[in-house]
Amino acid sequence: MLEQNLRQIISTQAEEFKPYDRYGDPIAGMSWVALSGELLNGEFECFMLRMDAGAQSKPHEHMGLEEFLVMEGELIDCDGKAYRTGDFVRLLPGSKHSSHTPNGCTMLVILRGNNRALTADELS
């Protein structure tokens, strides 16, 4: 039998999304709920990310693997590629991008390794 103290349940519908501040100051229109992993430990992190309509991420480079599942809405990458509800996206280490959402989206994000913030010039 499963020992009750060895199970953790996070009700993602009951959790309060907090301002997305992974890079210091919160990014307008973005919020998140940490689910597992140590925040910014450089190894593994899993969280839900919500982007309001019109929100845009800051340019960044993936130092490790990033994977995300678009749970709701649509996300547009800097090259114009659209990710829609149900799409599972894998970005390999060294990939650089910024994304935006015209109508809002919610994603489940899995990071292995930290991201490095970039300037707009470093993205191109």
In the chain, the domains with their CATH numbers are 28-123 (2.60.120.10)
Residues 105, 124: Cα–Cα separation, whole Å: 25
2-6, 20-24, 55-59, 80-84, range with the lowest pLDDT:
20-24
Residues pairing with 76 in the sheet: 82, 100
Residue 82 pLDDT exceeds 90:
yes
DSSP 3-state of 121: helix
Residues 32, 15: Cα–Cα separation, whole Å: 10
Q: Convert 20-35 to b/e letters by CB count within 10 Å (16 or more is b).
A: bebeeeebebbbbbeb
DSSP annotation of 102: S
Residue 43 pLDDT exceeds 90:
no
